[in-house]
Structure 1
C-alpha cells in the first residue's frame, strides 16, 4: 500500500473508532438518565470533543436512532448466540431469562434518551415497528426452543411477553427501578414454567 493509501485509511479507522466510542458512551449516559444525560455528557464520556460528536451525528435525533438501532441489533445477536449455545450449563428457559434481563438495560437506555433528548416519542414509527418485529422474532425463537424442551407453557405469544416486559419497566421510575424489574422478570419467567400434570382427583 502506498503512503497516500495508508494516510487515507488511518483517518477512516480513527473516525470509525470515534463513532463507536460515542455510541458506547451514549448508551452509558442515556441508561443513567437524569438531567446529566446531555449530548455534552456523551462527548465527555466518550473522550471526544462535542464537534466530533456532531460530525458523526449532526442532530440529536440521529444519535438517538443510531443508539436505538445498535441496541436492537445487539439484542438480536444475543438471541442468536443463546440459541446456538447448547451447553448443559444453559437450559432453554435460562437462555430466555438471560435475554429478557438484557432487555431491561435496553429499555432503561430508551427511557434515558426520552428524557435527555426531549423527544415526543421514543422512536420514529417506522423504526419502532421494525424494532418490535426484530425483538419479537428473537424472543419467539428462544420461547420456541424452551417450549420444545418442555420447560415453559405454550399458550403465551412472544409479543404478549414482550409487552409485559416493557410494561414492567415503564411502571417503575424511582431510583433503583432496574433491580426491582429484574426481580419481577425472574417472577415472570418462573410463571412461564410448565407445571407437571396433576393426577385427576379421585371422586369416590
Structure 2
C-alpha cells in the first residue's frame, strides 16, 4: 500500500472508531465517509462491507484479548485465569455497542470477515475453560460453545441500558455458575472489598 493510501486508510479507520463509539455497530457507512471527508466509494474500496470495517476496527482488540488469554494461562491459577479473561472480554464488549451480536453471528460463518478473530476468541475461552475443568474448578457439563454463548448473552445484556448498571452483579452470577469453587460468599467478600 502506498504511503498516501496507508494514511488515508488510517484516517478513515480513526474516524470510524469515533463514529462507532458514538453510534454503535449500526453507525452509518455514509456518516463515516462524510466525517472522514472521503467519498463513500473510497470508504467501500477500503472496507467493502460493514463486517470488513469491524474486522479492521476490532482485530487489534481481539488479538490483544487472545494474547491476554495466553498470558493468563501461564501466570494465574486456572479459575482465576478464566474469570480474569472473561472480565477482559466483557470490558471489550462494553466498549463497542452492538459488537456481541456481530460476533455471535460471525463465529459460525466462515465467509464473515470477523470469523477468524471470533474463532480465536472462542478457542482462547475454550482453552481456559478446559484448563479450569482439568483442575476441577469449573463445571464439566459445559464446553467452549456453552461458554461463548454465556459470554455473548452477558455481553448483549449489559449492552442494554436497563441492565448495564448491573454488569458486575450479572458477571458474578455467571462466574459463580461456571466455577465450582466460587461461592456467593466469595462474591460478597469481593464486592465488600471493592466498595471500600
TM-score > 0.5 by shorter chain: yes
Q: How does 1:44-123 map to 2 (within 5 A)?
A: 48-51=36-39, 54-58=41-45, 62-70=48-56, 71=58, 74-85=61-72, 86-87=74-75, 91-105=80-94, 108-110=97-99
Partner residue in 1 for 2:126: 140
Q: Show the counterpart of 2:188.
A: none
- Mean CA deviation greater in 158-167 or 88-97: 88-97
Q: Does the 8 A contact of 1:43 with 1:49 survive in 2?
A: yes
Q: CA deviation at 1:157?
A: 1.0
Q: Over alpha carbons, which structure has the higher Rg?
A: 1
Tell me: CA distance 1:143–1:103, structure 2 relative to 1, closer, same or farther (3 Å). farther
Structure 2 counterpart of 1:25: 15
C-alpha separation between the residues in 1 aligned to 2:159 and 2:69? Answer: 30
Contact 1:136-1:159 within 8 A present in 2 as well: yes
Query: 1:152-171 deviations in whole A, cap 9, x for unaligned?
Result: 33332111121123234445
Matched position secondary structure for 2:48: helix
Distance 1:187 1:19, change over 3 A: farther
Mapped contact 2:61–2:92 kept (Cα < 8 A)? no
In 2, the alpha carbon distance for the partners of 1:135 and 1:18 equals 29
Instruction: Please say if residues 165 and 185 of structure 1, whose CA atoms lie closer than 8 Å, have aligned partners that are also in contact.
Output: no
Q: Say yes or no: does 1:162 pair with 2:148.
A: yes
Q: For the residues of structure 1 that align with 2:135 and 2:120, how far apart are their CA atoms?
A: 23
Name the structure, 1 or 2, with higher relative contact order (CA <8 Å, separation 6+): 1
Aligned to 2:27: 37
Two-structure CA RMSD over aligned residues (Å): 4.0
CA contact (8 A) 2:100 2:155 kept: no
Structure 2: 5+ residue runs without aligned partners?
183-196
Structure 1 gap segments, 5+ residues each:
1-8, 114-121, 197-204
- Give the TM-score, by structure 1 length: 0.60
Structure number with higher helix proportion: 2
Give the TM-score normalised by the residue count of structure 2.
0.62
Q: Is contact 1:153-1:194 (8 Å) kept?
A: yes
